[in-house]
Amino acid sequence: MNTEVTVTEHILLHQKKSPHATGQFTGLLYDLILSGKSIAFRVTKAGLLDVLGGTGEINVQGENVQKLDDIANRIMLYRMERCGALCAMSSEEEPDLIRVRPEFPHGDYILIFDPLDGSSNIDVNVNVGTIFSILRRPEGGSGEVTLDEVLQPGWKQVAAGYVLYGPSTMLVLSTGQGVHGFTLDPGVGEFLLSHPDMTIPEQGYIYSVNEGNRQNWDDAAREAVEWFHTAPASNGKNYSARYVGSLVADFHRTLIYGGIYMYPPDRAKPNGKLRLMCEANPLAFLAEQAKGKASDGRMRILDKQPDKLHARTPLFIGSARDVEAVEAIYAKHGR
């Protein structure tokens, strides 16, 4: 670990390379990092603070709200509304666009986030994380932010990342200048540069998918997964199956080891399950910055135009060759 470089120092050192390098943008990242630290504290104390289990409520996605979902969401909303860099936010836990209230300073950026991805795994102490995407309000925008200004394709993201809460707390971040990982040192309370210039291997040896849904997949998805059962992997052996069921944890492993994470559409969710703007887009941005790929099987994730705030998508993400193998199978089956 490079113990001399904090995430704040790293951002400042690389500011001049980014067209989005402004004091406002740096302040936005600072408050995101502070939110991640605050959530990390609650997650590590989850078994001691009576925050395990559900609240009894159902969110906009039709899913049970976990206590830590609600806590993480409130931390993000409170901190980020006051950061002075945002004009609007969207949370996976909230049905509508959240506009920064008039009493707080406004900025030019839009934050899309999943406050606690994988929270259903908290009770069994499995890794979870906060995923975020940063967009810039289109030039010329004034007055109250409109939904059309927020519904931007993923290639317009100016930054994306996640905070992974596990055996150690990690921040993985890209501002369009590659992907860098920072590990939280609890002794000093700082994220320190630990994984500079992260890249996904061109081909991996792990495939990750919930095969319990296979009876509901279409023929292309079944054939794609079967391909990984029999194709030679990068290590010359068969691909190994690994599936945590926490998207941020499965993606983090894929980012480091390579391979592919797959969430195909099925009969119950023909448009896919994962949220395009708060899950697929930020992870696709990271994947491409790390020399990997992200696709819905038929097109690049970052080219998809969302038609609503909580639009969903299939997702195939990871090593370039592995994603291309899936795309070739989908192309064979036609549109």
120 marked ligand binding residue: yes
Task: Find all residues with CB under 8 Å of 126, minimum gap 6, and list them.
Answer: 118, 244, 245, 246, 249
234 marked ligand binding residue: no
Which runs of E-coded beta strand occur in 15-168? 54-58, 64-66, 86-91, 98-99, 109-117, 128-136, 159-165
DSSP 60-75: TTS-EEEHHHHHHHHH
For residue 290, give the amino acid letter.
Answer: A
119 marked ligand binding residue: yes
For residue 327 the two structure tokens come to: 């795309």
- Where b means 16+ CB within 10 Å and e means fewer, 226-240 reads ebbeeeebbeeeebe
69 marked ligand binding residue: no
261 marked ligand binding residue: no
Dihedrals phi, psi of 19, to nearest 5 degrees:
-70, -15
174 marked ligand binding residue: no
What whole-number distance in Å separates Cα of residue 173 and Cα of residue 178?
8
For 4, 73, 287, the CA distances from 293, given in Å and listed in that order, are: 32, 29, 6
279 marked ligand binding residue: yes
176 marked ligand binding residue: no
78 marked ligand binding residue: no
64 marked ligand binding residue: no
Is residue 20 within 8 A of residue 14, CB to CB? The reply is no
308 marked ligand binding residue: no
> What residue numbers does the annotated binding site cover?
92, 114, 116-120, 210, 243, 273, 279
> What residue numbers does the annotated binding site for Mg(2+) cover?
92, 114, 116-117, 279
> What residue numbers does the annotated binding site for substrate cover?
117-120, 210, 243, 273
